[in-house]
Amino acid sequence: MLPTQCLCTNLRRASRGISRHYDGALDGFGINVAQFSLMSNLKRLDQPSISSLAEAMGLDRSTLGRNLRVLEGAGLVKMSEGEDHRNRLVCLTEEGERRFNAAWPAWEAAQQRLVARLGEDRREQLLQLLDELAGVD
């Protein structure tokens, strides 16, 4: 691996490494970290519209739509029409709830391994830096 001072290259490399870490923890549950994150946001937001879910996750609607179709095909999420028929609402199915709950301890263990590696102070610093960078246009 060649060293570089490029922030983009280093952030993307770190992101791929972190994704592999969480994907490894979720191996055997039939979902990857991106799907787990989507399901986690569905639980947190309680039947959001596709637009509000996309905004909360920092995704465009088309990317979110593709991810939702995969989970819907697996029977883990369902979509329904909102009150004004222009909004589609999304929620976990019973199977989605079961799968998410089964995977949660593995995700939490992966999270704790990273926190232990970084330490609490560096974790907080990293979260602050990432928050700051998330708003860069």
pLDDT at 2 over 90: no
CA terminus-to-terminus distance, the chain: 28
Confidence grade of residue 81 (pLDDT, cut at 50, 70, 90): confident
Q: Is the dihedral of CA 40, 45, 46, 48 positive or negative?
A: negative
Concatenating the DSSP letter of every residue in 55-112 gives HHHT--HHHHHHHHHHHHHTTSEEEEE-TTSSSEEEEE-HHHHHHHHHHHHHHHHHHH
Alpha-carbon distance 109 to 104, whole Å?
A: 9
Query: Where along the chain do its domains lie?
Result: 22-134
Q: What percent of the chain has pLDDT over 90?
A: 76
In this prediction, residue 90 carries a pLDDT of 94
CATH T-level assignment (fold) for domain 22-134: Arc Repressor Mutant, subunit A (1.10.10)
Confidence grade of residue 3 (pLDDT, cut at 50, 70, 90): confident
